[in-house]
Amino acid sequence: MALSSDRMFLELHGNQWRVVVNVPRKLRPKLGTKLKKSLGTDSLKEANRLKWDVIAELKATIAHAENPSLSLEAARFKSREQTMQRAVEFAEQRKGSFNPERRDEIDEEIDWQAESLAGRPLAVDERGHDVFDPERLRLATDFSQLARGEKTPIDLHHEKFLSMSHVKARTLADDRRAMNLLKEWCGRAGVPPYLQAITKKEAVRFCDELPNVTANLTPVTLNKYVSRLSVYWTWLENRHEVESNIWKGRRLREPQQTTDQKERPFTDDEVRVLLQGPAEPEMDDLMRVAALSGARLDAIVCLKVKDCRDGVFVFKPQKKEPGPRLCPIHPDLIEIVERRKKGKQPEDDIFPEWPGVKKADSLRERSFKTSNEFTDYRRSVGVEDRREGKRRGLVNFHSFRRWFITKAEQAGQPESTIAVVVGHKRQGMTFGVYSGGPLLEQARRCVEAVQLPT
pLDDT at 429: 41
Please tell me whether residues 293 and 420 are part of one structural domain: yes
Provide the percentage of residues in the chain whose pLDDT is more than 70: 88
Domain count for the chain, please give it. 3
Please tell me whether residues 27 and 174 are part of one structural domain: no
- The residue out of 104, 120, 147 marking a domain boundary is 147
pLDDT at 255: 60
- The residue out of 147, 166, 187 marking a domain boundary is 147
47-56, 90-99, 276-285: segment of lowest average pLDDT: 47-56
Please tell me whether residues 42 and 175 are part of one structural domain: no
Q: Is residue 140 domain-resident?
A: yes
Instruction: Give the residue, 260 or 91, on which the prediction is more confident.
Output: 91
pLDDT at 277: 94
Q: Is residue 83 domain-resident?
A: yes
- CB 75 within 8 Å of CB 61: yes
Model confidence pLDDT, tens digit, residues 226-255:
999 999 999 999 988 899 999 998 988 766
16: pLDDT strictly greater than 60: yes
Please tell me whether residues 29 and 162 are part of one structural domain: no
Mean pLDDT of 311-329: 82
Please, which residues bridge with residue 36 across strands? 20
pLDDT at 91: 85
361: pLDDT strictly greater than 60: yes
Please tell me whether residues 311 and 398 are part of one structural domain: yes
The secondary structure of 220-265 as a DSSP string is: HHHHHHHHHHHHHHHHHHHTTSSSS-TTTT--PPPPPPPGGGS--P
Please tell me whether residues 140 and 212 are part of one structural domain: no
Q: Is residue 274 domain-resident?
A: yes
Instruction: Give the residue, 39 or 109, on which the prediction is more confident.
Output: 39
Mean pLDDT of 28-51: 88
Mean pLDDT of 133-148: 85
Please tell me whether residues 139 and 167 are part of one structural domain: no
pLDDT at 434: 43
Please tell me whether residues 318 and 437 are part of one structural domain: yes
Q: Is residue 130 domain-resident?
A: yes
| b/e sequence 264-290, b meaning 16+ C-beta within 10 Å | bbbbeebbebbeebebeeebbbbbbbb
- Sorting pLDDT into bands at 50, 70 and 90, what band is 257? low
- The residue out of 238, 253, 272 marking a domain boundary is 238
pLDDT at 433: 39
Burial class of residue 262, CB neighbours in 10 A (0-12, 13-18, 19+):
exposed
- Sorting pLDDT into bands at 50, 70 and 90, what band is 154? very high
Please tell me whether residues 181 and 329 are part of one structural domain: no
- Sorting pLDDT into bands at 50, 70 and 90, what band is 59? confident
Q: Tell which phi-psi region holds residue 359, choosing left (phi > 0), alpha (psi between -120 and 50) or beta.
A: beta
Please tell me whether residues 361 and 424 are part of one structural domain: yes
Please tell me whether residues 348 and 418 are part of one structural domain: yes
- CB 293 within 8 Å of CB 333: yes
Please tell me whether residues 203 and 76 are part of one structural domain: no
Measured CA to CA, the distance from residue 317 to residue 360 in angstroms comes to: 21
pLDDT at 236: 95
User: What CATH number does the domain containing 437 carry?
Assistant: 1.10.443.10
pLDDT at 318: 73
Coil, strand or helix: which one is 364?
coil
- Sorting pLDDT into bands at 50, 70 and 90, what band is 261? low
Measured CA to CA, the distance from residue 88 to residue 151 in angstroms comes to: 10
- Sorting pLDDT into bands at 50, 70 and 90, what band is 73? low
Q: Is residue 204 domain-resident?
A: yes
Q: Is residue 181 domain-resident?
A: yes
Q: Is residue 89 domain-resident?
A: yes
User: Could you list the residue range(s) of the whole structural domain that residue 30 is in?
Assistant: 10-147
79: pLDDT strictly greater than 60: yes
Instruction: Give the residue, 216 or 310, on which the prediction is more confident.
Output: 310
Model confidence pLDDT, tens digit, residues 389-436:
666 789 999 999 999 999 999 999 999 889 889 886 655 544 443 444
Please, which residues bridge with residue 38 across strands? 18
Instruction: Give the residue, 99 or 112, on which the prediction is more confident.
Output: 99
pLDDT at 243: 92
Mean pLDDT of the chain: 85
Q: Is residue 257 domain-resident?
A: no
